[in-house]
Amino acid sequence: MSEPVLPRAVILGCAGPRLSADERAFFRDADPVGFILFRRNVETPEQVRALVAELRETIGRADAPVLIDQEGGRVARLQPPHWRTYPAASVLGRCGEEAVRLGARLIADDLARLGITVDCLPCLDIPVPGADPIIGDRAYGSDPETVAQLGRAAAEGLLDGGVLPVIKHIPGHGRGTVDSHLTLPVVDASASELDRFDMAPFKALADMPWAMTAHIVYRAFDEARPATLSPIVISEVIRSRIGFDGVLVSDDLSMKALGGSFTARAEGALAAGCDLVLHCNGDRAEMEAVVAGARRLTPESAERLARAEARRRSAGPFDREVAEARFESLVAVA
């Protein structure tokens, strides 16, 4: 009996709140591992549930991962009036570990009701003075111990609600002096300083199921290539020094920190050691180029995905009303 064909090692976005017939055909042929949703894809709970189901239906896998960036603060794809507002990580960090965990548990409840199974949270980056504000209040604190403690609380809150967390942006985005959405950051800190400070929260949470790379050059490890495209950073730093052996997904390939064609970006990230590449904006021409450069999953990456999926706990009893009231009391002091 022949081995089953593994899906393509890519996560894709879609253009709007509903799929066109053309998009359905494209996704069916592309056969991505899964999908990611953005604000443009969101109208109402009923609409999101239908879109999530339709995305999975196009590729014939009811358990395909569907991701979202629902951090709170300025990074929130689900917003009022249908979903509550969550404070930014820096605010929750001042409210304490219980607030962080409970906020993540409420977010998990929001997502699970929609069929979304992976949240790109927690952000374990630690901003330093002079850094670009792209991380800013998305960070839980300014020291590794606080960020590790509160990052774990957020991750466990998601897992308690049956949603997989994604630790990001490994091995640390906090020193970037420019926004990687716009240009390529270069970090000159020593290996020992990166190891002691930036990478410490990632080491503490190396047991988590998913991680997302940083589009940053760390000259201490690789003079020219950003982490996403660096076999040295992925093998020697992320997999070895940090000890992360879960699903490693690239940050968005459409960010301007990366150069070259979209096909070359996808090929390069996968060749460097990413398990999956991520393309978010739903642009058809870009997606076609990414898919052209994205091979099928390797058996090793498929095993990592299976292990991650096994971590998705069935959500236990959860009284939303009681949790909301407790959460409000905790954040009222912020």
| Residue 3 is assigned to a structural domain of this protein | no
Please count the other Cβ atoms lying within 10 Å of the Cβ belonging to residue 62.
Answer: 9
pLDDT digits (tens, 9 = 90+) for 79-95: 999 999 999 999 999 99
Q: What are the CA-CA distances from residue 103 to residues 146, 285, 301, 332 (Å)?
A: 17, 38, 31, 13
DSSP E strands in the chain: the ranges are 8-13, 32-37, 66-68, 70-72, 75-76, 118-119, 164-170, 186-187, 210-213, 217-218, 247-252, 276-279
pLDDT of residue 1: 53
CA 66 to chain centre: 11
Q: Is residue 277 part of a domain?
A: yes
Phi, psi of 249 (to 5 degrees): -110, 140
What is the model's pLDDT at position 316? 81
- Is residue 125 within 8 A of residue 170, CB to CB? The reply is no
At 42-65, the pLDDT tens digits run: 999 999 999 999 999 999 999 999
Predicted confidence at residue 250, as pLDDT, reads 98
Res 2: pLDDT: 62
148 dihedral zone (left: phi>0; alpha: psi -120 to 50; beta): alpha
Answer yes or no: is 148 within a domain: yes
Domain count, the chain: 1
The reported pTM is 0.97
The verdict on residue 111 lying in a domain is yes
Residue 28 in tokens: 């069916």
| pLDDT score at 179 | 85
283 in a domain, yes or no? yes
3-state DSSP helix/strand/coil percent for the chain, to nearest 5? 45, 15, 40
In a domain? residue 129: yes
CA distances from 184 to 10, 82, 110, 142, 178 (A): 22, 36, 34, 23, 7
According to the model, what pLDDT value does residue 159 have? 97
Q: Which residues of the chain have a pLDDT value below 50?
A: none
Q: Which residues are annotated as catalytic?
A: 181, 251
Q: Whole domain around residue 17: which residue ranges?
A: 8-331
Using omega within 30 degrees of 0 as the cis cutoff, is the peptide bond preceding 82 cis?
A: no
Give the CATH number, domain containing residue 225. Answer: 3.20.20.300
Q: Can the peptide bond before residue 87 be classed as cis, meaning omega within 30 degrees of 0?
A: no
